[in-house]
């Protein structure tokens, strides 16, 4: 049996991959939505980017299923492609990995910032369906990510449990550095951990300078593996690059050296899963790999 993510983490820090959507847009893919339908319409571009992340040293490849819950796909007229999209995304990752990197099935928030308190029962079936499919398609573990509401993250976690797969749950915060309910990120991490997630942390919306202090607090609040996947774009907590309409390409992209500094600092803090999100390309991941003492493939 190949080594799972928890066994791998037990041996030391793991390097994740980068951000896909914004890099693909920078490379000229259509701007319409942030849908995983890219894996069907632009399979070569997704494949090339994922291959580049692997070559840079990523030990985990995130299957491009983010925002792939059925309701999200229906919103972009792709509801009938639900299974096909997930199958293709997993196939692309598996063809690159060939057992040399772990494949994470990625589940993003079904409603994002449109989530409202009490939507838990509404979103859970969408998460259950997606998690079950990713398990069937052979995901090594699940990354449940980019939740603004703790309640939303808890719904996804609950939905993932029947799969028996290891889960990593990461919250996001914007425009202020709390959940939309007003909870601090270390509190969210503690609750998610108590409710049974294996790996907990933060992704997207903050650059390393903003995310690392939050991660320090999370490190103090929970035992076991923690994860950080910041954006590689300079941002400000109260005028974030990820405003409702603006994208990070309008702002200052951090250098590979900046992300190498992030990786070094993350190691010092005791972050176990060190990845990156929007704006982070293969050159950033390569710099992080080197900072972590890895040689690129
Ligand atoms: Zn992101």
Mean pLDDT of 109-136: 96
* Cα 185 to ligand 1 centre (Å): 17
pTM value is 0.95
258 Cβ contact partners less than 8 Å away, ≥ 6 residues apart? 208, 232
Distance CA 101, CA 148 (A): 29
Residue 189 lies in a domain: yes
Q: How confident is the model at residue 26 (pLDDT cuts 50, 70, 90)?
A: confident
Distance (Å) from CA 248 to ligand 1 centroid:
9
Residue 297, domain member (yes or no) = no
**CA distance linking residue 49 with residue 38, whole number of Å:** 12
CATH of the domain at 160: 3.20.20.330
Ligand 1 center to 150 CA (angstroms): 18
Domain tally, the chain: 1
pLDDT at residue 247 in the model: 43
Do the beta carbons of residue 166 and residue 198 sit within 8 Å?
yes
Residues measured by CB to lie within 5 Å of ligand 1, the ion: 204, 277-278
- Lowest mean pLDDT across 103-107, 245-249, 281-285: 245-249
Look at residue 78 and tell me if it is in a domain. Answer: yes
Distance 197 CA to ligand 1 centre (A): 21
- Which phi and psi angles does 276 have, rounded to 5°? -155, 165
Question: What phi and psi values does residue 100 have, to the nearest 5 degrees?
Answer: -100, -10
Taking alpha carbons only, the member of 270, 156, 284, 155 closest to residue 219 is 270
Indicate whether 208 belongs to any domain: yes
> pLDDT digits over 137-177, tens only?
999 999 999 999 999 999 999 999 999 999 999 999 877 78
Q: Tell whether the model's pLDDT for residue 33 goes beyond 80.
A: no
The whole-number pLDDT of residue 251 equals 63
Kindly give the distance from the C-alpha atom of residue 231 to the centroid of ligand 1, in angstroms, as a whole number: 6
Domain holding 108, by residue range, is 5-291
Asked whether residue 296 is domain-assigned, the answer is no
> In whole angstroms, what is the distance from residue 229 CA to residue 216 CA?
14
Give the Å distance between the CA of 19 and the centre of ligand 1: 6
Measured over all CA atoms, what is the biggest interatomic distance in the chain, rounded to whole angstroms?
A: 47
Q: How far apart are CA 259 and CA 266, in angstroms?
A: 10
Separation between Cα atoms, residue 210 and residue 206, nearest integer Å: 6
Q: Ligand 1: distance of its center to the CA of 187 in Å?
A: 22
Domain presence at residue 280: yes
């Amino acid at each position: 049996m190949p080594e799972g993510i928890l066994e791998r983490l037990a041996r030391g820090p793991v390097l994740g991959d980068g951000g896909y959507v914004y890099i693909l847009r920078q490379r000229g893919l259509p701007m319409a939505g942030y849908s995983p339908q890219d894996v069907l319409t632009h399979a070569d571009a997704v494949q090339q980017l994922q291959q580049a992340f692997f070559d840079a040293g990523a030990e985990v490849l995130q299957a491009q299923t983010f925002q792939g819950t059925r309701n999200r796909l229906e919103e972009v007229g792709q509801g009938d492609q639900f299974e096909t999209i997930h199958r293709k995304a997993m196939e692309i990752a598996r063809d690159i990995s060939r057992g040399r990197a772990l494949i994470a099935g990625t589940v993003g928030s079904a409603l994002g910032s449109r989530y409202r308190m009490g939507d838990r029962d509404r979103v859970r079936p969408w998460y259950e369906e997606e998690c079950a499919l990713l398990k069937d398609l052979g995901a090594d573990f699940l990354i449940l990510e980019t939740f603004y509401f703790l309640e939303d993250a808890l719904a996804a976690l609950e939905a993932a449990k029947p799969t028996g797969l290891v889960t990593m749950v990461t919250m996001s915060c914007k425009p202020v550095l709390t959940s939309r309910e007003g909870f601090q990120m270390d509190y969210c991490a503690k609750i998610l951990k108590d409710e049974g997630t294996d790996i907990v942390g933060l992704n997207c919306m903050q650059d390393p300078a903003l995310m690392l202090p939050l991660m320090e607090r999370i490190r103090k609040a929970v035992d076991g593996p923690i994860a950080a996947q910041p954006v590689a774009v300079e941002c400000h907590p109260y005028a974030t690059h990820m405003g409702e309409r603006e994208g990070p390409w309008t702002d200052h992209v951090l250098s590979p050296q900046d992300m190498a500094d992030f990786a070094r600092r993350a190691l010092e803090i005791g972050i176990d899963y060190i990845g990156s999100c929007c704006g982070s390309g293969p050159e950033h991941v390569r710099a992080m790999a080197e900072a972590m003492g890895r040689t690129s493939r």
